[in-house]
Each structure stands twice: as structure tokens, then as C-alpha cells.
Amino acid sequence: MPLYDYWREPDGAFLVMRWLRGGSLYEALQRGPLAAAALGRLIEQIGGALTVAHRRGVVHRDLKPANILLDEDGNAYLADFGIAKDLGKQVSPYQTDQTSVVGSPAYLAPEQVKAEAITPQTDIYSLGVMLYEILTGQLPFQAPTPIALMFKHINEPMPALGQMRPDLPAAVNAVIQRATAKQPAARYADVATMLAELRQSLGYTPDLITRAVGAPAAPSERTPSGRRTTYETGLIELRPLAPPSDPGLYANPYKGLRAFQEADAADFFGREALVETLLERLREPGPFARFLAVVGPSGSGKSSVVRAGLVPALKRGALPGSANWFVLELFPSADPLGALAQALLRIAVNPPNDLVGPLGLDAQGLVRVVDQVVPGGDETEVVLVIDQFEELFTLVADEAVRAHVLQLLITAVTDPYSRVRVLVTLRADFYDRPLGYSGFSALMRKRTEVVVPLSGEELRAAIVRPAERAGLRVDPELVEAIVSDVGEQPGALPLLQYALTEVVERRQGRVLTLTPYEASGGGGGVGAAGRGAVQRAGWGGAGGDAAAVLAAGDAGGRGRGHAAAGAADGGAGGGGGGQGCWMG
């Protein structure tokens, strides 16, 4: 589930997540059968989410239709990890852990009821129960009380699928029976193996296409008013786990004119080597080890590599203890102390009435405030990601404020007792600005990593791999055309993303071809269209960074054009902050 923001207040903690308009799978099943094409995606997406969680040592423990949320296109999101079990976490013998019965009685694995060890096979059991429910329209076990229901999971065999669905092959029942075996060791080794057998069991039943669900739903059938009210048999067709035949069912994996965010990490490719380099820099010892500046030309992808590459890696534990660090993103804006205070309030356990005042007292202000609002000892660190650091020099009018903020950062990364790390992204044409300040110039000289243009192979990865994740395929001819047009230019990433967004929107079927790219004018047409889109969206007017980058696609290069970096962004060149579009 994409997480957009989070903060704490005295009366509770708050998460801002994507608003999913499709409700839950439970609600969808109450309204009637799902479209056949949607079902394949549903099982794949649930299984994919579980696979990722299990690989990271997390067991959901409460898998059920009510915890599967749907967007307006029927894409499934696994939610409510509130009782999830972290298998790698050391637990005190005085904490409630595996000896607690948690979960929903209708889907509980026997080991959950008996308070035995929790493993990924616990989720596989619940997935098998849910699959039975989807196929039959009812739960496998019924009982008057939750306790009686839980004992049925322990003692009674799973009902044979053929009793409710004689039209389904015995192999489908075999998948469910193995997934719901009473002993975890008898179940599938992992979710991927279970899904592979499910695909195979349904691959030899052509009569299922029409007899079970009929043709895939038309768009109107995906709305509540268009769904059938009777629960027909089955929700599976011959190719339930294959890519959907309706081109509209594919999510666009490209980001258009906006920079990648942390929630886009799964679609961020081509910068793996740079992310590893940044991690290596953060592992380096030394007096300035807690600071790193990521510097590059306009449109080079500085913000994206930090937000969608480095930050997710830190949260995965790429550095010792980093999985438990707080990561705060902010822009300096015209009020950098206010922006810093607002960022810290998101994680404050006991937030004071005023943070700006304490931050402005002296050079120790940031170190002191972090210790005040984020208790937890030395192991709880705070990473400040300051994007578009050039705003501190272009938007802040008061020189005293600018100098004080720089001194706060210097102290925060050099104080031996500090729990603060600082990452900044800075446009290359503003690299000289922080060098004019004593102390900070030493940080910049020793702790700067430069973002170079994407290589040809990196461009190919950025083109092909997001499409593959979305179930799309990119024609090699299109790949080479875009690589040739974009070249190893500093502004390649925004032009690339905008071009591919347009191709996906204009495609026919699941293959991205050269035809829609050339129909839009190739690099030149996409550049002109991109500039127009930036201007219509109000991103910085003539000084807008993304507009300048994309405008360069209007000329040259086999009729398609080449990208070049813009000269000024909205913040530095006048014309608005432009924080939501491509700023590096």
C-alpha cells in the first residue's frame, strides 16, 4: 500500500495512504462475481504481495477478503499488517508473541489456534481458505461461535471442492487441500509454488471459460450497478493468471512528468549501481560520514534515485540498523526552519507547542530537538532527506537564517552524540553556493556523489523492466529508438518517462511498439507535448525545469530529437516551486 505521509500528534498517530475506491474483496464478493480477467490479476497480486512479505521475513497472519483492498480498476492491495509477525525480530520472553491467538477465526491456521510457531505456511493456509471461498461463494467451515469455528480448523478436514463445484478439475481441489493441510510442513514451501500449481490445474479446462464466468466483463460490469446480483459458479477462466486481455486493465508503470517517490520503488530501474554506490558512501567511516550530497544536472534523476532507490534500501536494512531509522523528506522552501519543524512533527512522540524556536536558538538546536521529540536511545536515528537543496540559496531572503540552517546541519552530522544523518540533493549549477560557507564547504568537498547520465544499458532497464512488471512487453525496436533519441543526456529520465507514458496510453494490446511513439512525432513530438503539458499544469512557466528538459526534444536526431538539460527550475529561475514535477 503506497504510504504518502505520516506524523504523530498527542491523540494518536496518522498515516496518509492511497485512497482505494474499489472497496474490499469482501464487499466485491457480496455484490456478485468478479470479472474473469480481474480474477487472474487478483490471485497474482495477492500472491505477489505475500511473496514479497515472506521474503522479508514478515507473515501477515490475518489474510482474508476484508483485508484485500481494490482500486477502481480492480487491482488488489494487501492491507492491515497490524498483527503481522516479523520472523527476524528478537522478542523478549515477557512480550506477547507466538503464544497469542490473533487473526480472524474463519481463516485461522491450526497452528494459530494452538499458539504454535508462525511461519509463511500460516498465510498459505489462509490463502487456501480464501481461494475455496472465492470459488464456492461460502466458507469451508461454519459454526455458531468463534471458538467452535477455530476447533473445526484444527480437527475437521477441508471439504472437497467437488461437493460445491463438480465442474472444476480435481487438480484445483488438490491445490486447496495441500494449501490447507493441518501440518504446516505438508503445505506448499512458498506461495509461488502454490500459484504455479494452480495455474497448471486450470490450464487444461477450456470449458471453464464459458461455463464458469462467461466473457470478461465490459467496463460497465466493473461498476457496482453493472455487476450481476447472483453468485454464479466460479471466478476463474482458462487463463486466470495470464495477463488480462483488456488493454485498459494494465496500470501505466511510467511516471510521466513527476519524479519517482518512495511508493514507486518497485517501478524504479536503471539506477541499481548508483544506489549501491550511495550505500557504500554511507558506510564509509570518517568525521563527515553522516552527511552525503547527491549532485547532478537538471533532470538527471537525483531526487528519484534518493527517494525511490536509496530510501527504500535503507528501510530494507541495507545499513546496520537502518530498517529502524526514521526517514524525513523535506524541501527548504522560503522558510527552512518551519519546514524542518514540520518534518520533525511527523515523528514526534510528545510534540511541543513550538519547534521553530528551539531550532533557532543555537547550532545545537537540531540535535537537541531530535533528542526531545524522538526518544529511543542511540539506535533510533533520524535521516533528513533535503530535496532541492538549492532552494536554501534561491528562496531564503534572510542571510542570517540561511547561515544558521547550514550551521544546524554541520553540527548535526559532526556532533559525536548526534542521531541525525543528512542527505541533500543539489543541482550541479548551484554547487558553488554552499562552498561559500565555512565548515559546510568541507562537507561538500568530501561528501559529494555525482549523478551521471544513464548509460545505454541503464536506459534499457528503465524502459523494459517496469513494463514487464505491469504485464506489458516492449518491442526491441522501440527500445533502441528511444535509447538513440534520448542518448546519454542529463535530462534523459523525465523525457524517457514522459515518452513511455504516452506510448502506454496510445498502445493497442499489451505490446508497446514503435508506431504510437512515431505517431506522436517521436522524440520531437513527445518533447513538444511534454513542454505543453508542463505549462498547462503550471510547473514553473518558462523557467520550469521539466519544460526546459522536454523542450530540447523538439529538434535533431533522426526526426525524433535528443534531450538536453534545462537551465533553471521553478525555484531557482522564478516561476514557482515545482516540487511535484521533474526536478532532478
Across the range 381-392, mean pLDDT stands at 96
pLDDT at 158 over 90: yes
Q: What confidence category does residue 221 fall into, taking pLDDT thresholds of 50, 70 and 90?
A: very low
Q: Which of 357, 555, 328 is closest to 368 using CA atoms?
A: 357
Q: Give start-end residues of each CATH 3.40.50.300 domain in the chain.
A: 271-450
Domain 271-450 matching CATH 3.40.50.880: the answer reads: no
Lowest-pLDDT range, 41-50, 56-65, 217-226, 271-280?
Answer: 217-226
Residue 27: partners with Cβ closer than 8 Å, 6 or more residues away: none
Measured CA to CA, the distance from residue 551 to residue 547 in angstroms comes to 6
Q: Give start-end residues of each CATH 1.10.510.10 domain in the chain.
A: 19-227+243-249
Which of 561 and 57 is assigned the larger pLDDT? 57
pLDDT at 385 over 90: yes
Q: Could you give the percent of the chain with pLDDT greater than 70? A: 72
Across the range 310-329, mean pLDDT stands at 93
pLDDT at 522 over 90: no
Over the stretch 369-379, which tens digit does the pLDDT of each residue have? 999 888 767 67
Apex 488 CA angle, 482 and 492, nearest 5: 60
Q: What confidence category does residue 442 fall into, taking pLDDT thresholds of 50, 70 and 90?
A: very high
Q: What confidence category does residue 39 fall into, taking pLDDT thresholds of 50, 70 and 90?
A: low
Measured CA to CA, the distance from residue 506 to residue 254 in angstroms comes to 13
Measured CA to CA, the distance from residue 220 to residue 300 in angstroms comes to 42
pLDDT at 550 over 60: no
Residue 229 pLDDT: 28
Residue 410 pLDDT: 98
Q: Is 469 exposed, middle or buried (0-12, 13-18, 19+ CB in 10 A)?
A: middle
**Helix H or strand E segment including 151:** helix 146-155
Residue 293 pLDDT: 98
Lowest-pLDDT range, 17-31, 112-126, 197-211, 468-482?
Answer: 197-211
Across the range 405-412, mean pLDDT stands at 97
**Of the ranges 58-67, 251-260, 380-389, 530-539, which is most confident?**
380-389
**CATH class for the region spanning 19-227+243-249:** mainly alpha
Terminal CA-to-CA distance of the chain, rounded, Å? 25
Residue 523 pLDDT: 53
Residue 519 pLDDT: 77
522-533 burial code (b ≥16 CB/10 A, e <16): bbbbbbbbbbeb
pLDDT at 155 over 60: yes
pLDDT at 67 over 80: yes
Residue 365 pLDDT: 95
Residue 472: partners with Cβ closer than 8 Å, 6 or more residues away: 243, 250, 253, 504, 507, 510, 511, 512
Across the range 102-123, mean pLDDT stands at 86
Cell of 463: 524502459
pLDDT at 230 over 70: no
* 77 φ, ψ (degrees, to nearest 5): -130, 125
Helix ranges (H only) for 316-398 are 336-345, 356-359, 365-373, 391-394
pLDDT at 288 over 60: yes
pLDDT at 337 over 80: yes
Measured CA to CA, the distance from residue 235 to residue 36 in angstroms comes to 6
Across the range 158-165, mean pLDDT stands at 92
Across the range 284-302, mean pLDDT stands at 92
pLDDT at 121 over 80: yes
Over the stretch 164-204, which tens digit does the pLDDT of each residue have? 889 888 998 999 999 999 999 999 999 999 988 988 887 63
Which of 8 and 295 is assigned the larger pLDDT? 295
Beta strand spans in 41-86 (E): 58-59, 68-70, 76-78, 85-86
Across the range 80-90, mean pLDDT stands at 48
Across the chain, mean pLDDT equals 77
Residue 507: partners with Cβ closer than 8 Å, 6 or more residues away: 247, 472, 513, 516
Residue 548 pLDDT: 34
pTM (predicted TM-score): 0.56
Residue 74 pLDDT: 77
Angstrom CA distances, 519 to 184, 364, 513, 549, stand at 55, 58, 11, 21
